[in-house]
Structure 1
Amino acid sequence: MDLIRYASLAANSHNTQPWLFQVGNEGIRLLPDFARRTPVVDPDDHHLFVSLGCAAENLAISAEAMGYTCAGTCTDDGIMQFQLGAGVARSDPLFGAIARRQSTRALYDGRPVPNNHLDILVQSAMRPGVRVVLMTDARQIGQMRDLAVAGNNVQLGDPGFVGELKRWLRFNPRAAMAKGDGLYTACTGNPVLPDWLGPHAFDLFLNAKVENDKLARQIASSSGLAIFIGDRAGRASWVETGRACQRFLLTAAQLGLKSAFINQPVEVTPFRSELAVLAGEAGKRPDLVLRFGYGPTMPYAPRRPVSAVLI
């Protein structure tokens, strides 16, 4: 149960927590929960299977830290199987970072990250078939800012996207704790509102220009960006990308860095090719974009109890 609890603290899109765990004599299976899809922003379930990869990496790190051997395999359909055995508990700083990691959607202070820490971040994300490209040059960050803002503008002009986002918003701590999922507005620095007011205020005050300006400032305040690119498209590859991403996120937390996704150029299909060129990977499909830097600790997103994700 502890392993599943740690796995459930993984990064995931819209905090939908789209995973299920099945425990048996053969070990633990990690399965997709398609009832938690976000079909507008993620029509091919790319983010869903990346999220499963993030949870898989948390589970593997936790198992070895808690004294298990842990061998994982992934089917072409993106289903993970973990065989657990008796081992020796070993200290792992990434295990300690699991509970501290958060998606920090706030302004950072712009301080540069030391080169040796940048090297550690890149090394942490090395997984078969996955590459990570770091950008710390102000000109490149500015180009990515413009691309992300353009994608954000497209998304906020899509009623389907806005409606889906609104369904996953939690406007106050009571709603966040009751549901145990979704985007708690306090995590993004937005005001806490009662349930009867939150959706109406969202409809009334959502403003693309304001949101775009906020996103531009957030990216400009970042120390750097990380773009993840898998060699192949498909569920098993997306799981592998998620595992690489989670190790990067945990390593960043261990180094005192904050991070957050800026996936608009990935999610708005016409911008993917431009993003690939910017990353020096023309012709590839970029999987994820992160910003990182030194920033504040925000309220943590809620998580559902183990009983809710256990088959």
Structure 2
Amino acid sequence: MATNTVTDEPPELAMTRRDALKLAGLGIGSVAGLGLGVGGLRAATNGAFSAGAGDPYGLWHDWTSMSGVERVVAGGVLACNPHNTQPWRIAVDGDTIDVHSDPSRRMPLNDAGGREHFAGLGCAVENMVIAAGPAGFTAKATLFPDGTASDHVARIVLSDGGDGQDRDLAAAIPHRHTNRGPYTSAPVDLSGFTEQSSRVNGASMLWITDKAVREQLGRLYVEATEAITADTAQSTEAFTWFRSSRSSIDKHRDGLTLDGQGLGGLTLFAAKLLPAQSRKDGDAYWVKATREVHTATATAYGVITVDDVAERTAQVNGGRLLARMHLTATTLGLGLHHMNQITERIDRDHAAGNPDVFSARWAALLGRPASTGLLSFRIGHPERTPGLSPRRSLDDVVTG
């Protein structure tokens, strides 16, 4: 199990993203030259020559060759989940799969209400339900069989007799990755999401496509990002989940990495040559990227809505719908990037007893109470192929 120690400076080598952007302006020959000597050592240490390869990425490559219950469970471990905390513990007994919350993987400052943690668990549950049919099973999922106060989030019972209803979504499981890079200006046809939008009870999709509203929402995302980075405790907690060197990726097999930041190939390679970034440099890059890339190139925003964002079953159901949305985007060749800064600040301010400066504006943009907007993301036609995220192995998370 990964243990996260809060420190302002990580012990492993990393990059200064601001310098990486400068280095990208050098010629290819200049950057290649940096790959020699100390630069080459840093590049190797930071995984410049091994991105997406090795044990932390094995499950992405091995999933299609798996079968039976193992294939279903592995589909859950490959599910999208905020911050890539992988918040699950899974127990398997024959054809029964029990999904439990792992409290050690909570982010109490960035996810004060637990909505992202339990939504991530919902993503895993739904991925397993989706994987079950093409694997030859019918899956029945029961949420919180021991009550919502329990960490026992779901029980999935498999029986023989699968169908092909979710075959396309299941096939997308090993190809689904969060795309944080720029999107093109081409419009997105959202009709391909209609069928999946109604497949989960207790959660609905709200699409924001109007240009004026998108621009207002974009400004609110930037403001929320600035608020998170100005909150030292919240920023520091998030930074502990950034895996900046290959040794850190191999050790933890979770969290966010350079390969998942949507950088261009030359910029990414240059970034891996550089000395360790500070938390403040990372925050500055995040704000800049949110303003100049993420919100500037979002063709549309999607918001998962529920009756009450604080209710555990609603959080899990919202995650189940999010899993379907992300897999559908993958089948359509679209990029999807989870963006929850606004709701993270709402929950953080409530928990800390601070004035709530985001809920009213969030509600105005949604056209409904802030207490119904659970999770959000941007979507569009990606300019770049996203990198793989590290994943813990089945041996790390499964018992029985």
TM over 0.5: yes
1:108 — aligned with what?
183
1:71 — aligned with what?
140
1:49 to 110, 118, 121: 118
The 8 Å contact of residues 362 and 370 in structure 2, kept in 1 or not, is answered as no
The 8 Å contact of residues 12 and 47 in structure 1, kept in 2 or not, is answered as yes
The 8 Å contact of residues 136 and 162 in structure 2, kept in 1 or not, is answered as yes
Q: d(CA) in 2 for partners of 1:240 and 1:193?
A: 42
CA spacing shift, 1:272–1:285, aligned 2, 3 Å: farther
2:324 — aligned with what?
247
1:227 — aligned with what?
303
Question: Counterparts of 1:187-198 in structure 2 under 5 Å?
Answer: 187-188=260-261, 189=263, 191-192=271-272, 197-198=275-276
What displacement does 1:283 show?
A: 5.2
2:290 to 210, 215, 225: 215
What displacement does 1:260 show?
A: 0.5
SS at match of 1:99: helix
1:85 to 124, 134, 159: 159
1:34 corresponds to which letter in structure 2? P
The 8 Å contact of residues 187 and 298 in structure 1, kept in 2 or not, is answered as yes
What displacement does 1:89 show?
A: 4.9
CA spacing shift, 1:73–1:203, aligned 2, 3 Å: closer
Q: What is the TM-score with the length of structure 2 in the denominator?
A: 0.72
1:276 corresponds to which letter in structure 2? A
What displacement does 1:25 show?
A: 4.2
1:288 — aligned with what?
375
1:297 — aligned with what?
385
1:94 corresponds to which letter in structure 2? L
**Over the residues paired in the alignment, what is the CA RMSD in angstroms?**
1.8
What displacement does 1:177 show?
A: 3.0
1:125 — aligned with what?
197
CA spacing shift, 1:33–1:68, aligned 2, 3 Å: same
SS at match of 2:260: helix
CA deviations over 1:105-143 (Å, ceiling 9, x no partner): 1111121013xxx12214312222212111112111101
Q: d(CA) in 1 for partners of 2:128 and 2:241?
A: 25
Q: d(CA) in 2 for partners of 1:122 and 1:173?
A: 40
2:249 corresponds to which letter in structure 1? A
Say if 2:328 is the partner of 1:259: no
1:106 corresponds to which letter in structure 2? G
What displacement does 1:206 show?
A: 3.6
SS at match of 1:220: coil
Aligned length: 303
CA spacing shift, 1:98–1:43, aligned 2, 3 Å: same
SS at match of 1:289: strand
Say if 2:220 is the partner of 1:140: no
Say if 2:262 is the partner of 1:181: no
Alignment gaps of 5+ in structure 2? 1-69, 347-355
Alignment gaps of 5+ in structure 1? none
Q: Which structure would you say has the larger Rg?
A: 2
What displacement does 1:272 show?
A: 2.9
Q: d(CA) in 2 for partners of 1:276 and 1:193?
A: 44
1:32 — aligned with what?
101
1:305 corresponds to which letter in structure 2? S
Question: Counterparts of 1:14-25 in structure 2 under 5 Å?
Answer: 14-25=83-94
CA deviations over 1:213-236 (Å, ceiling 9, x no partner): 321222121211001111133111
Q: d(CA) in 1 for partners of 2:141 and 2:71?
A: 18
CA deviations over 1:138-195 (Å, ceiling 9, x no partner): 111101111101100100001111211111111133422332101012210262268x
Q: d(CA) in 2 for partners of 1:304 and 1:193?
A: 26
2:365 to 256, 259, 278: 278
Q: What is the TM-score with the length of structure 1 in the denominator?
A: 0.92
What displacement does 1:273 show?
A: 3.3
Share of identical aligned residues, percent? 27
Q: d(CA) in 1 for partners of 2:81 and 2:366?
A: 23
1:41 corresponds to which letter in structure 2? N
What displacement does 1:202 show?
A: 2.1
SS at match of 1:79: strand
Q: d(CA) in 2 for partners of 1:63 and 1:206?
A: 40
What displacement does 1:247 show?
A: 0.3
Q: d(CA) in 2 for partners of 1:204 and 1:158?
A: 11
The 8 Å contact of residues 359 and 370 in structure 2, kept in 1 or not, is answered as no
The 8 Å contact of residues 272 and 285 in structure 1, kept in 2 or not, is answered as no
1:109 corresponds to which letter in structure 2? T
1:298 corresponds to which letter in structure 2? P
